[in-house]
Amino acid sequence: KQEVTQIPAALSVPEGENLVLNCSFTDSAIYNLQWFRQDPGKGLTSLLLIQSSQREQTSGRLNASLDKSSGRSTLYIAASQPGDSATYLCALRGAGGTSYGKLTFGQGTILTVHP
Amino acid sequence: DAGVIQSPRHEVTEMGQEVTLRCKPISGHDYLFWYRQTMMRGLELLIYFNNNVPIDDSGMPEDRFSAKMPNASFSTLKIQPSEPRDSAVYFCASSPTTSGNTIYFGEGSWLTVV
């Protein structure tokens, strides 16, 4: 059974800092890994998706990496802004059989960027 | 596209009542997912469909929960009878087979059972 852990559970940083959010998983048989953002009272917004054959993806100030062999992914946020404050979740999609459609989520990292 | 549309957005109901949550996936998406989110357990997959067929319902907590997808543009999640411990946010999501399989979430249905 896939287990996903996110560290830290919460993070508070001053505006302008570069920061790293961590995601670790137990089963490397994945189809892809996705990072989401969730604002209070809202649904989840997809930030980046990394296929299992890829090592990283970039979008603006965000960079996500994937190392299947070690069961780790990181989300790097450059020059953080107060608008980045949200909960960040990583999710892994299973690779085969009935696991294919399943997206297993971590518990999330609550990020607060203060001015 | 309008995105994944869920209704109702908020519902407060009394214990024992039937609750029906509705979802319209993004047109052309052939995967549909129902998730439940609580503070204690985070996001849990309840059931997912592929081409309107239920593939895995192992996350459905018990017989009080049922889900249907009568066509490609509509799905329901029903709880009967509802209990206070069912209080949570229920998310519907959809995904295409192609385009990297990015999954798109609705805004959620916030259920409170009193």
Mean pLDDT of A1-23: 94
Query: Checking DSSP bridges between strand B10-13 and strand B109-113, what pairing results, if any?
Result: parallel
Q: Across all residues in chain B, what is the average pLDDT? A: 92
Which runs of consecutive H residues, i.e. helices, occur in B1-114?
A: none
Mean pLDDT of A8-22: 96
Q: Tell me whether A46 touches chain B (CB under 8 Å).
A: yes
Gap between the Cα atoms of B85 and B61, Å rounded: 11
Closest residue in B to A34 (Cα) is B102
Mean pLDDT of A57-74: 96
pLDDT at A97 over 80: no
pLDDT at A31 over 70: yes
pLDDT at B62 over 90: no
* Contact across the interface for A46 and B45, Cβ inside 8 Å: no
**Tens of pLDDT, residues A68-93:** 999 999 999 999 999 999 999 999 98
pLDDT at A101 over 70: no
Are B82 and B13 in contact, with CB atoms under 8 Å apart?
yes
| Tokens, residue A66 | 């994937």
* Contact across the interface for B42 and A107, Cβ inside 8 Å: yes
pLDDT at B44 over 60: yes
**Tens of pLDDT, residues B73-100:** 999 999 999 999 999 999 999 988 754 5
Which pLDDT score, from 0 to 100, does residue B100 have? 59
For residue A38, what is the enclosing H or E element?
Answer: strand A30-38
Which pLDDT score, from 0 to 100, does residue A42 have? 87
Q: Which residues of B touch A43 (CB under 8 A)?
A: 4, 91, 105-108
Dihedral (CA of B99, A65, A42, A7) sign:
positive
Gap between the Cα atoms of B78 and B101, Å rounded: 27
Range from A45-59, B77-91, B97-111 carrying the lowest mean pLDDT: B97-111
pLDDT at A100 over 80: no
Place of tokens 């296929």: A51
| Tokens, residue A57 | 């993806």
